[in-house]
Amino acid sequence: MVESNGARNSQPLLEVEDLEKHFPITRGVIFQKEIGRVQAVDGVSFTVNKGETLGVVGESGCGKSTMARCIMRLLDSTGGKIVFDGKDITNLSGKDLLRVRRDLMMVFQDPYASLNPHKRVGAIIGEALQVHKIGNATENRRRVQELLEVVGLNPEHYNRFPHEFSGGQRQRIGVARALAIQPKLIVCDEPVSALDVSVQAQILNLLKRLQREFDLTYVFIAHDLDVVRHISDRVAVMYLGKIVELGTGEDLYQRPLHPYAGALLSAVPIPNPNVARARKPIVLEGDVPSPINPPSACRFHPRCPRFQPGRCDVDEPQLELHGGEHQVACHFPLETWPMADLSLPAAGSAAASSS
């Protein structure tokens, strides 16, 4: 949490403003006609301060990976602004973009698919050094061996191929690769989802140690709420391309305000049987709607236990401050936690009929 990063100053490293990424759906072969849009990310704003970890949680298809790819400039956004280290990088290209990429790195989800099986580990880790023309061959070799040691691997394994390593070791290679050019920001997209718990814990500890040692800033994307809470200073909850709640780990996990955040939290299995069996989880009905044709106004309203007709389906709630740094986009945020009573204090009939 907060105390884990002494350097947590409020100097922003990454500012994202109204970021939007729509993928067109086309029909026809020669004359392609746009017949719809997948609104994968739709108006997302947040800042990440130097030295902190911003966690992003949400279910599959909520746009968290698309957002990460936009920040990395692996995808061109269709709207909004990305400011990195005081510089607008939204529309950079060519040499300017390459220069920015020295400070931006990524760790991917699947340690089996994200390492080139034909290349030796040394070449994989050292590739970024070559791309950015840093150092000569001997220096780079030494640097790579140093990195292997930093992430807890044997420096002599420099010449091995990825298949000779286990999943956890491969993810360490992925982390070493991200560290090679000493970036300022590392975007981790589900870095531990494919790993077993005992190994997952090793990688989480490694990421935390590296953050302290190298003064790194992370955007940490995962669907596992416990993992995100453990590593993050602040956490954003996404639903269907939008951030619905953003706050410190403490805020969000002890006092969630958005009904979706509440439902998500209460759906996480607790590894303590007596606690788990005593609580009453809020089980959401139905599935996440399609981002092609998202529900009007508040996108959560068809599944929301506190839905108020005439308000939630007409008027879109904006992300607003609710004391301190805690932001929420909801007309009827939760008053209490755990959600003992889901109905609204004054209303009743309308809210009750939907549950």
Q: Which of 136, 138, 198, 349 binds another protein (CB under 8 A)?
A: 198
How far from the centroid of its chain's Cα atoms is residue 132's Cα?
26
What mask of x and - would describe binding to another protein in positions 2 to 21, judged by CB under 8 A? -xx-----------------
What mask of x and - would describe binding to another protein in positions 209 to 228, judged by CB under 8 A? --------------xxxxx-
Task: Give backbone dihedrals phi and psi of 32, rounded to 5 degrees, phi first.
Answer: -80, 125
Q: Name the minimum Å distance from CB 185 to another protein.
A: 22
Positions in 54-113 near another protein (CB under 8 A): 59-60
Report if residue 168 touches another protein, rule: CB under 8 A.
yes
**For residue 34, what is the enclosing H or E element?**
strand 33-49
What mask of x and - would describe binding to another protein in positions 243 to 282, judged by CB under 8 A? ------x-------------xx-xxxxxxxxxxxx---x-
Q: Do the beta carbons of residue 230 and residue 204 sit within 8 Å?
A: yes
Q: Which of 75, 284, 342, 350 binds another protein (CB under 8 A)?
A: 284
Q: Name the minimum Å distance from CB 286 to another protein.
A: 8
Q: Name the minimum Å distance from CB 230 to another protein.
A: 4
Q: Which of 86, 287, 341, 346 binds another protein (CB under 8 A)?
A: 287
- List C-alpha distances in Å: 188 to 94, 172, 306: 24, 12, 34
> How many Å apart are CA 163 and CA 170, to the nearest integer?
9
Q: In terms of CB distance, is 27 or 212 closer to another protein?
A: 212
Q: In terms of CB distance, is 254 or 318 closer to another protein?
A: 254
Positions in 318-347 near another protein (CB under 8 A): none
- What string of H, E and C letters represents the secondary structure of 172-187? HHHHHHHHCCCCCEEE
Q: Name the minimum Å distance from CB 227 to another protein.
A: 5
Q: Three-class SS of residue 145? A: helix
Report if residue 199 touches another protein, rule: CB under 8 A.
yes
> How many Å apart are CA 312 and CA 199, to the nearest integer?
43
| 247 conformational bin, left if phi > 0, alpha if psi -120 to 50, beta if neither | beta
Q: Name the minimum Å distance from CB 253 to another protein.
A: 9
Q: In terms of CB distance, is 14 or 225 closer to another protein?
A: 225
Q: Exposure pattern of 62-75 as b/e (b: 16+ CB <10 Å)?
A: bbbbbbbbbbbbeb
Kindly determine how many residues on this chain lie close enough to bind another protein according to the rule CB under 8 A.
47
Concatenated DSSP letters for 295-319? Answer: PSSSTTGGG-TT--TTTTTTSPPP-
Instruction: Compute how many other C-beta atoms are within 10 angstroms of the C-beta atom of residue 176.
Output: 25
Query: Quick one: DSSP state of residue 332?
Result: S
Q: Name the minimum Å distance from CB 17 to another protein.
A: 28
Q: Which residues bind another protein (CB under 8 A)?
A: 1, 3-4, 59-60, 166, 168-169, 196-202, 204-205, 208, 223-227, 229-231, 249, 263-264, 266-277, 281, 283-284, 286-288
